[in-house]
Amino acid sequence: MDSPLHIAVVGSGPSGFYAAEALLRSQHVVHVSMLERLPAPYGLVRYGVAPDHQKLKKVISVFDRIAAHERFTYFGNVALGRDVTIEELKSCYHAVVLACGAPRDRQLGITGESMDGCHAATDFVGWYNGHPDFRDKTFNFDCETAVIIGQGNVAADVCRILTMPPEELRKSDISAHALEELAKSKIRNVHIVGRRGPVQAKFSPAELRELDQISDVSCEADPVACEIGPACLEEVGDKSNPAAAKNFDLFRRFSTNRQNDAGRRITFQFCLEPTEIFGDGSVTGVRFTQTALQGAAHHQKAVATDNAFSIDCGIVFKSIGYKGVALPGLPFDDKAGVVPNEKGRVVASGASLPGVYVTGWQKRGPTGIIGSNRADSIETIESLMTDMSTFQNDNPKEGAESLAALLQQRDVRFINIDDWRIIDRLEIERGMVSGKPREKFAEVDEMIDVLSCSVPEDRQAAKAD
C-alpha cells in the first residue's frame, strides 16, 4: 500500500477548510495539518462576515466536522514566515497548500487618502469583528455624515453597521469595544458612492434590500443616474445576470423615496470618481469627478468628465476591494494581488514550484461568496493529487509530528483543536451574559491567557463538544 501523504494547509478560512475537506475525502490516505496565524480558526467567516449575519456563519459547523476528522491537526497561532519558513514546511510535508486569502485593502492613490478619518473598510470590518490586528484602531463617529467609496457587498456591510440601531447590533456578535463606540455615533447620513452606474453596482440584491429594511432608515438614490442609456438597458435585460435588474429595480424605487422623518438616511450616488479626500488635518469631505459610462454593454468604463462634485463629511470608508500580500520565499503578482498559479499549482519564473499549491482569494483574487471557495479548492486539490507521484514515493515525511517538534523547539505556543474548543466555549459563555451569540476575545494574549487559566473540566467539556 502507498504510504500516507502529509499535507500542510496554510490558512483556516473557507478555502483552507474546503481544501482540507477535499484532501480528506480523496482515495488516498492523507493527513492534513492546518496552520493559522491567529489562535482562532475560520478566517473571514469569523472576522469578515458581518456580525448580524449569523446565518452565514453557520458554515462553521461544516468546518468543525472537518476539524474533527482523525487525520486533521490544527496549529493555531502559527504564522508562515514568522514561526516557520516555507522550506521548513516542505521538509515536514509532501506538499503545502496556501490558503491565506487577501488580507489588505486596495489603495485609491489620491491625495488625502492617509488623512485622519479616512479608513479602509477592511480596518473597520476587522475592528467591529474583534480581529486582533484591528483591536486598537480608532474611529470618530462624532459627525453627521459618512461617505463610503465603492458599491460592493463589503460597502453594504459597512453601511449596515453604521446605520443599524444599537439595540439591533447588541443581538449580534459585534465586539463590545465596537458596540460601545457605535452606540454613541452621531452619524445620520451615509453616502455610498460608485464610480459607475446603478446597473454596475456589485451589491448582491439581498444585501441591497437588507439596507432598506433597517428600521428608521430611508434609502434614497440619485434619480438622474436611474435614467439609463442603451448599453445599460442591455445589461439590465441580460437574463444571465439577474442581479443587475434586481438592483436596478431597487435603486429606481429608492430614487422616489423622500422620507424626511427617518432617523438615518442612506444615499446611493453614481458616476462619481473620487479625486481627493480633503480636510484640515482630519477629513471634512471628498471631491469627485463626475463620470460618463463608455463602451459596450458589460464592458462599460467610467470616463472622467470636466464636472466636479463634493460631499462634505466627517468620516470616509474606502471599500474598493481586498488585495493579497507577498509571503517570504514565495512568488507574488503584485499587480493582481495573487500568487501566480495554474489551476492551483504555484508558478515561479514560468515553471511550477514543486509541492506548493494555492487556493481561494490568494489564488483567484477577492471575488465570490463563501461557497465559491469549495469548487476553487477542489480544483487545486485535483492538481495536487494528479502530481502526487512526483512527491510521494521514497520520500517519507512526518507531517504534524515533525512540525510540532520544530515549534516546541522554538517555544511557539501553538493552539491545538482542543485549545480552540475551550476558547470557543468561553466566548459563547461570555456572550450569554449580555444576550449575544458570543463575545470574542479580541486579543491574541487574552486567548492564550484564558487557556493557561482553564481547568481540567474545561478540557473534558471541550473534548465532549
Binding site for ligand NAP (CB under 6 A): 108, 149-155, 157, 194-196, 200, 202, 204, 207, 274, 319-322, 366-369
CB closer to ligand NAP, 175 vs 392: 175
Cβ of residue 156: shortest distance to ligand NAP, in angstroms?
Answer: 7
Cell of 286: 471628498
CB closer to ligand NAP, 329 vs 437: 437
CB closer to ligand NAP, 47 vs 63: 47
Measuring CA to CA, which residue among 209, 214, 218 is closest to residue 258?
218
CB closer to ligand NAP, 47 vs 74: 47
Q: ∠ CA 182-259-194 to the nearest 5 degrees?
A: 65
CB closer to ligand NAP, 233 vs 369: 369
Cβ of residue 179: shortest distance to ligand NAP, in angstroms?
Answer: 20
Cβ of residue 113: shortest distance to ligand NAP, in angstroms?
Answer: 11
Cβ of residue 42: shortest distance to ligand NAP, in angstroms?
Answer: 15
Cβ of residue 385: shortest distance to ligand NAP, in angstroms?
Answer: 28
Cβ of residue 161: shortest distance to ligand NAP, in angstroms?
Answer: 12
| Residue pointed to by grid coordinates 456591510 | 157
Number of Cβ within a 10 Å radius of residue 262: 18
Cβ of residue 378: shortest distance to ligand NAP, in angstroms?
Answer: 19
Cβ of residue 63: shortest distance to ligand NAP, in angstroms?
Answer: 17
Cβ of residue 450: shortest distance to ligand NAP, in angstroms?
Answer: 30
CB closer to ligand NAP, 150 vs 355: 150
CB closer to ligand NAP, 186 vs 301: 301
Cβ of residue 142: shortest distance to ligand NAP, in angstroms?
Answer: 26
CB closer to ligand NAP, 205 vs 368: 368
CB closer to ligand NAP, 33 vs 172: 172
Measuring CA to CA, which residue among 95, 33, 31, 42 is closest to residue 406?
33
CB closer to ligand NAP, 76 vs 285: 285
CB closer to ligand NAP, 105 vs 419: 105
Alpha-carbon distance values, 235 to 184, 198, 199, 208, 250 (Å): 42, 11, 7, 18, 15
Cβ of residue 320: shortest distance to ligand NAP, in angstroms?
Answer: 4
**Whether the Cβ atoms of residue 129 and residue 158 lie closer than 8 Å to each other:** no
Q: Which residue is nearest to ligand NAP (CB)?
A: 152
| Residue pointed to by grid coordinates 464592458 | 299
